[in-house]
Amino acid sequence: MSLAGTGARLWKTHWALRYGAAIIVVAAAAGSRHLLQEQLAALPYAIFYPAILVVAVVAGVGPALFAVVSAALYTHYPIIVRAGSFAAENASDIIRLLGFVSLGTISTLVVALLRIGRERRILTERALQDSEERFHQLVDGVQDYAIFMLDRHGRVASWNTGAQRIEGWSETEILGQDVSRVFPGEARDSGRPLRQLEIAAAQGSFREEAERVRKDGSRFWADVAITALHDEKGELRGYAQVIRDISERKRASRDMAESRSRLASVVESAMDAIITVDAAQRIVLCNKAAVAMFGWTESEAIGLPIGEFIPQRFRAAHARHVTGFATTGFTNRPMGNSGSLVGLRRNGEEFPVEGSISQADVDGRKLFTVILRDITARKRAEEHQALLLRELAHRVKNTLAVVQSIAAQTRRFAPPAQFYDTLTGRLSALGTAHDLLTRSDWEGAALHEVVRLGFAPYEGLSPEQRWTIDGPDIWLAPNEAVTLSLVFHELATNAAKFGALSNACGRIAVRWSLDAGENPLELCIDWRESGGPKVAAPAGGGFGSKLLDRAVAHELGGETEVDYAEAGVAYRLRLPLSAKVKVQ
Amino acid sequence: MNHRLSILIVDDETMIVMLLEDMLADLGCSVAGSAGSVAQSLAIIERTKQTLDGAFLDINLRGELVYPVADALKARGIPFVFVTGNALHGIDPDYAGVPALSKPFGARAIEQAVRLFAERRRVPATA
């Protein structure tokens, strides 16, 4: 290329070379004419025609015309010099000259036309070649599409790089194979590969989104386009198939659908109300919990201003808050941080809520979503808890004062040696009374249970139970239950120390009854000991009898009678029935 | 204290009444009466108003509040203190100036209250 190429370029670009060549050729022709004067006398120009043709072919139109002129001048030079002017006898010479010039010009132009035609044909052919090559490169270079040809029978006739990449087979493996190889088994069995080709042949093309298989057997989702190819005569020659792997897109859209439906079910099944409003604060979405919370059906709620869910007095402030929130740029935040939020049910009932608000731009639309929780029950529980805590504090302190009192009384009456045992006995009676009350949530306790607890320390001391407890069901309020627990603890303790439980065979009967009236007013409890050692009235009276007197008189508004009979001590407690001591 | 101070005890808890009775007896006071309800208390005040020198009032008498008793004592110029297990939340702000003892209470607190009653008694005597 280098030397020949450079020469060719110089030849094309430098006219002087081409004109110089023309002169040389004409000169050579002139020389030849001189030598062959004898033979060419009749045709003085004949030798110049081949020269002009050579110049026209080799150097182009310009040099060829130049050669015609040069040859004419050369040939006529002797005539011109000899005659000094054109004379009549030279007329034939002039005709001959004109003939030569026109013939030379014509043949130059003919050669030029031939040359142009040939060059154009060469260019066209080269362009065609180039374009075919580029097209092949293009098809082959496409990575993302499998592009291949099938012959009339559905056998693979070409296979691009994309096809190899997507399907896994190399060109040599697949060429000549039936197209059904790229179909999953069930599609192949049902005859789909052939049917698709038939449809494409009948209608010109066929499209589908369907599964295809790779060489390794794995499946992928394909976007398939089949075009039937016909020759000029309309005969079917084969098919072009373009396949795109759309598994990713399929997965993405399936994931999207899945996540959307999952989200929808979360929203629907949420325990909290979820409400979405647009920029005009009209409801565009509300879930089941919102329907239950506010009392509007979903279809009624959609389109309602959110103000319908808010008590009148808060509406303006709420609208301002939402507008303000829109300008913050925060995506979400808790609502009502300045105090508790109030919702409005359809029936006009107001209720405390807490919630959060979030905002999002969806296709240029501003949407606000609030998530609300009805905290009525929680507020109530909190209030109840606060009440319980206050009540507990009160009760604990009261109980400490009671313990203080028991300790003071014990110190006052019990001998120092017995102080500790006596005190712990009384505290444990207090404790079991509290247990009894705790079981009923401090509603109260049955008299039967209270009496039984007094005897509890002596259960199992002898093989047979030496006390009986008998009477109609009586309910005691908490304080009365505690006080009577301490009373019966004292009576049983005294019996164990000095009375019917101090020997092996004494008995105690505890029996109570109501007065006979239609609406009984009084409860009469008898504690009667028998079979114990002989008793005498104690000298100063102990804590037990003091408690009995004071508790029954002060707290229960009743009276006590004690009978220190020889057979055994007998107590009678008369208690008026009230809300605190009542028939169960 | 030339003569024994006469004191009213209002508390629904018998054991606490007994404790106060003993403590007051140790301080040389006499107990004019003890009550576990507003009605009982008012009855005792009505009966003993000439001789009553002071009162210990439990605020919560099983749900019933003792304030009517406080008002009755105030109207008669008889000093009193509250005794409560609920010192922080229990007292009506209207009675904020009234001294309050917290349960459980020590002998010294009772003694101070009694001294207060004794001082108040001396005022009309000197006037």
Every domain of chain A and the residues it spans: 11-135, 143-251, 270-374, 415-583
Which residues of B fall below an 8 Å CB-CB distance to A? 12-19, 22-23, 34, 36, 60, 62, 84-86, 88-90, 102-105
A287 touches chain B (CB under 8 A): no
A270-374 homologous superfamily = PAS domain (3.30.450.20)
> A47: closest CA among A63, A23, A28, A70?
A28
**Domain boundaries A143-251, CATH class:** alpha beta
The one-letter amino acid at B57: L
pLDDT per position as a tens digit, A518-553: 888 999 999 999 998 887 777 656 788 888 888 888
Position B126 scores a pLDDT of 41
HSE at residue B55, side-chain half, CA atoms within 13 A, is 32
For residue B13, which residues of chain A lie inside 8 Å, CB to CB? 398, 401-402, 479, 555
CB A522 within 8 A of CB A574: yes
A403 touches chain B (CB under 8 A): yes
Q: Alpha-carbon distance A57 to A475, whole Å?
A: 139
Residue A233 is encoded by which pair of tokens? 């005569």
pLDDT per position as a tens digit, A450-486: 999 999 989 887 788 899 999 999 999 988 899 899 9
Residue A360 is encoded by which pair of tokens? 């999002």
SS3 content of chain B, % helix, strand, coil (to 5): 45, 20, 35
Q: Say yes or no to pLDDT of A185 above 70.
A: yes
- What's the predicted TM-score (pTM) here? 0.57
Position A282 scores a pLDDT of 93
A415-583: CATH topology is Heat Shock Protein 90 (3.30.565)
For residue A403, which residues of chain B lie inside 8 Å, CB to CB? 104
Which residue of A lies nearest to B34 if distances are taken between CA atoms?
A554
Is B103 in contact with A547 (Cβ distance < 8 A)?
A: no
Question: Is B6-86+95-126 a CATH 3.30.1180.20 domain?
Answer: no
Beta B60-61 vs B64-65: how paired, if at all?
antiparallel
Is B18 in contact with A405 (Cβ distance < 8 A)?
A: yes
Position A442 scores a pLDDT of 83
> A346: closest CA among A292, A273, A296?
A296
For residue B18, which residues of chain A lie inside 8 Å, CB to CB? 405, 409, 546-547, 550
Position A553 scores a pLDDT of 83
Q: CB count, 10 Å around CB of A206? A: 20
Which residue of A lies nearest to B19 if distances are taken between CA atoms?
A405
Q: Which of A394, A479, A486 sits opposite B85 (nearest CB)?
A: A394
Which residue of A lies nearest to B59 if distances are taken between CA atoms?
A394
> B80: closest CA among B90, B66, B92?
B66
Q: Alpha-carbon distance A267 to A275, whole Å?
A: 10
Domain map of chain B by residue range? 6-86+95-126
A388 touches chain B (CB under 8 A): no
For residue A393, which residues of chain B lie inside 8 Å, CB to CB? 85-86, 88-89
E strands in A57-151: 145-151
Helix axes A543-550, B14-26, angle to 10 degrees: 110
Provide the shortest C-alpha distance from residue B47 to chain A (in Å): 17
Is B86 in contact with A486 (Cβ distance < 8 A)?
A: no
Position A272 scores a pLDDT of 92
Is A554 in contact with B17 (Cβ distance < 8 A)?
A: yes
pLDDT per position as a tens digit, A356-398: 888 888 888 889 999 999 988 888 999 899 888 888 888 888 8
pLDDT over 90, % of chain A: 42
CB A48 within 8 A of CB A71: yes
Q: Which of A393, A408, A479 sits opposite B86 (nearest CB)?
A: A393
Q: Alpha-carbon distance B125 to A260, whole Å?
A: 89
Beta A467-470 vs A507-514: how paired, if at all?
parallel
Q: Alpha-carbon distance A242 to A147, whole Å?
A: 5
Residue A77 is encoded by which pair of tokens? 């030079």
